[in-house]
């Protein structure tokens, strides 16, 4: 059994992972690291972590696995800070929403220790942040994508895979580039659309929301995502996100053309295709 | 008490209204009209309507209120067909998602009888269609917008208001133009975005959906809306919808610029503003 897993950043995802590890007995100790000892103490009282420290050396030393669960923009700083305490007994992983950029930061900062970094991303979340919203079942039946480095050892990858499978997740493997292309489409793009929709409505008529039905609430739910997290994702997955927004705008333009021309058949086709596909995805 | 309310088109909205009328004892008889007698018989067996007919004369005659609950594209035909059976004892109303266009069709087809037509729109719905998905509580605490004609009598408007309030809804009044501008923004635009998102994903990678988290499912839920209904709405509220899509695209372009320039402060601001607003709307 694993003796100590350290979670750096005990927020929604870090907290949910900590809870899932404890619930499924995946490690003797779940150790939390953060900048604010009051928050860490609260997380300990809420039984999310067993121990905590605001001292990175203490947090990282003797860990079997260190999980970085902070916004992706903080990785450079955190990796630089933990590097002095790394050994070849410590495996590092992350939960970041982008992968290509993280892999390049890891190689740049960790050098030879990058062999021990196994990049991962659980496809799970909520519009709320903070460990107060965390759930031990958050990863249950959810996908976790591991994008291994060519220098990762098979047993390292295996250990991270086992950890995630232990939380109930289903692990897939792909390249960092495929991950970023895919997530740019299924997650980053919808978030950009939702943020922009809310901002468009604010600019037009801030009180319009009282006439919005349930569909709008669902649609805009993801616009309540954490601003810092999304800022970082935008910068790290910049090219993919811009490509997807531009591609999406072309699709939107075809729709505008069909409406402009009152092309009933085309509108029927567009909406029927979307409905059928969406129903089959969810069903 | 009202003796007979006739619902033309016993689908999700018509069926839910019929149920709500029966549950709240708003009429002695709820009468259903449709083209398919088998479907109407099923609706009667499901206790959604008391009586039914595929004969419009029978359905409309002796009704106190006739509610048109078919897709807005069918209004011209239906109004022409019911006109011969109208009297000054029969009030007509609708549940259509567009209003300016309907008002002009009503005036054109019904002539002097348009005085008895009180246009209305309940802001409630689901991504499923058909009376099987109907609910007597669908309008509970939901807005219903009435857009009266200048020739409607106060008592006519009052009766339609009472009917909707009897289902638990909260009635507001505005002009057809204000309604279409508002709904173009809070309902039609989000639907266009969701349909286009799904169609964009199909065009890029149809199997991507297995890597989509809950946010995507919520976001795309409204893309499962009824294709014919949305085709009709697009054509009837064409100008507003196109204006809103174009306005939205400008907001989206500002976001692309901020990402392109890696403008952290701007991205922070955009996402924080959206999050705060969305939280305040829902909270």
pLDDT digits (tens, 9 = 90+) for A134-152: 999 999 999 999 999 999 9
Average pLDDT over residues B245-269: 96
Integer Cα distance of A280 and B236 in angstroms = 29
Proportion of chain A above pLDDT 90, given as a percent: 83
Q: Which residues of B touch A192 (CB under 8 A)?
A: 252, 255
Q: Is the pLDDT of residue B173 over 70?
A: yes
Assess contact for A120 and A147: CB atoms under 8 A.
yes
Q: Is the pLDDT of residue A41 over 90?
A: yes
Q: Which residues of A touch B252 (CB under 8 A)?
A: 192-193, 196, 245, 249
Q: Which residues of B touch A143 (CB under 8 A)?
A: 210-211
Q: Is the pLDDT of residue B170 over 90?
A: yes
Decide if B123 touches A, using CB distance below 8 A.
yes
Least confident interval from A166-180, A262-276, B216-230, B245-259: B216-230
Burial tier of A77 (Cβ tally within 10 Å: 0-12, 13-18, 19+): exposed
Assess contact for A184 and A243: CB atoms under 8 A.
yes
| Secondary structure of chain A in HEC code, one letter for each residue | CEEEEEEECCCHHHHHHHHHHHHCCCEEEEEEECCCHHHHHHHHHCCCCCEEECCHHHHHCCCCEEEECCCHHHHHHHHHHHHHHCCCCCEEEECCCCCHHHHHHHHHHHHHHHHHEECEEECCCCCCCCHHHCCCCCCCCCEEEECCCCCCCHHHHHHHHHHHHHCCCEEEECCHHHHHHHHHHHHHHHHHHHHHHHHHHHHHCHHHHHHCCHHHHHHHHHHHCCHHHHHHHHHHCHHHHHHHHHHHHHHHHHHHHHHHCCCHHHHHHHHHHHHHHHHHHHC
Average pLDDT over residues B231-250: 96
Note the pLDDT of residue B69: 97
pLDDT in tens, B176-230: 999 999 999 999 999 999 999 999 988 998 778 778 766 677 777 888 888 998 9
Q: Which CATH number fits domain B178-282: 3.40.630.30, 3.90.1300.10, 3.10.20.30, 1.10.3660.10?
A: 1.10.3660.10
Decide if A251 touches B, using CB distance below 8 A.
yes
Q: Is the pLDDT of residue B61 over 90?
A: yes
Q: Which residues of B touch A125 (CB under 8 A)?
A: 213-215
Q: What residues 53-112 of chain B have any CB closer than 8 A to a CB of chain A?
A: none
Q: Which residues of B touch A270 (CB under 8 A)?
A: 195, 199
Average pLDDT over residues B67-91: 96
Q: Is the pLDDT of residue B80 over 80?
A: yes
- Provide the whole-model pTM: 0.86
Average pLDDT over residues A32-36: 96
**Domain parsing of chain A, residue ranges:** 2-174, 178-282
With cut-offs at 50, 70 and 90, classify the pLDDT of residue B282. Answer: confident
Indicate yes or no: CB of B227 within 8 angstroms of CB of A251. no
Return all residues near A38 (Cβ < 8 A) that are at least 6 apart.
none
pLDDT in tens, B12-52: 999 999 999 999 999 999 999 999 999 999 999 999 999 99
Q: Is the pLDDT of residue A38 over 80?
A: yes
CATH topology of domain A2-174: Rossmann fold (3.40.50)
Note the pLDDT of residue A108: 97
- Which tops the pLDDT comparison, A204 or B211? A204
With cut-offs at 50, 70 and 90, classify the pLDDT of residue A75. Answer: very high
Q: Is the pLDDT of residue B260 over 80?
A: yes
| Chain A interface test: which of B98, B137, B190 (most A C-beta within 10 Å) | B190
Q: Please name which of A128, A133, A140, A183 lies closest in space to residue A164, comparing C-alpha atoms.
A: A140
With cut-offs at 50, 70 and 90, classify the pLDDT of residue A256. Answer: very high
The separation between the first and the last C-alpha atoms of chain A, rounded to the nearest angstrom, is 38
Indicate yes or no: CB of A227 within 8 angstroms of CB of B271. yes
- Which tops the pLDDT comparison, A215 or A249? A249
With cut-offs at 50, 70 and 90, classify the pLDDT of residue A23. Answer: very high
Q: Rounded mean pLDDT of chain A?
A: 94
Average pLDDT over residues A74-91: 96
Residue A131, min C-alpha distance to chain B (Å): 18
Note the pLDDT of residue B283: 63
Nearest to A211 among B127, B143, B278 (CB): B143
E-state strands within chain B = 2-8, 27-33, 51-53, 65-68, 91-94, 117-118, 120-122, 143-146, 170-173
Note the pLDDT of residue A283: 63
With cut-offs at 50, 70 and 90, classify the pLDDT of residue B261. Answer: very high
Q: Which residues of B touch A216 (CB under 8 A)?
A: 186-187, 190
| Chain B interface test: which of A73, A197, A221, A249 (most B C-beta within 10 Å) | A197
């Amino acid at each position: 059994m694993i003796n100590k897993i350290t979670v750096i950043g005990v927020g929604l995802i870090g907290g949910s992972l900590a809870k899932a590890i404890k619930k499924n007995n995946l490690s003797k100790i779940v150790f939390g690291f953060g900048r604010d000892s009051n928050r860490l103490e609260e997380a300990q009282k809420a039984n999310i972590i067993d121990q905590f420290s605001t001292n990175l050396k203490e947090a990282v030393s003797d860990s079997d696995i260190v999980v970085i669960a902070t916004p992706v923009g903080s990785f450079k700083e955190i990796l630089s800070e933990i590097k002095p305490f790394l050994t070849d007994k410590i495996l590092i992983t992350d939960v970041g929403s982008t992968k290509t950029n993280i892999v390049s930061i890891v190689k740049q900062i960790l050098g030879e220790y990058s062999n021990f970094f196994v990049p991962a991303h659980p496809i799970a979340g909520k519009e709320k942040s903070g460990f107060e919203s965390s759930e031990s079942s958050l990863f249950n039946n959810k996908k976790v994508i591991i994008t291994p480095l060519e220098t990762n050892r098979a047993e390292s990858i295996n250990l991270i895979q086992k950890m995630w499978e232990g939380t109930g997740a289903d692990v897939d493997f792909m390249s960092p580039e495929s991950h970023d292309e895919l997530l740019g489409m299924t997650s980053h793009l919808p978030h950009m659309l939702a943020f922009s929709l809310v901002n468009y409505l604010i600019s037009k008529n801030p009180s319009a929301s009282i006439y919005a039905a349930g569909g709008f609430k669902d649609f805009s739910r993801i616009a309540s995502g954490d601003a810092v997290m999304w800022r970082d994702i935008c910068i790290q997955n910049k090219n993919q996100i811009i490509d997807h927004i531009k591609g999406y705008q072309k699709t939107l333009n075809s729709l505008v053309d069909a409406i402009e021309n009152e092309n009933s058949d085309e509108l029927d086709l567009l909406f029927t295709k979307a409905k059928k596909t969406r129903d089959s995805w969810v069903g």
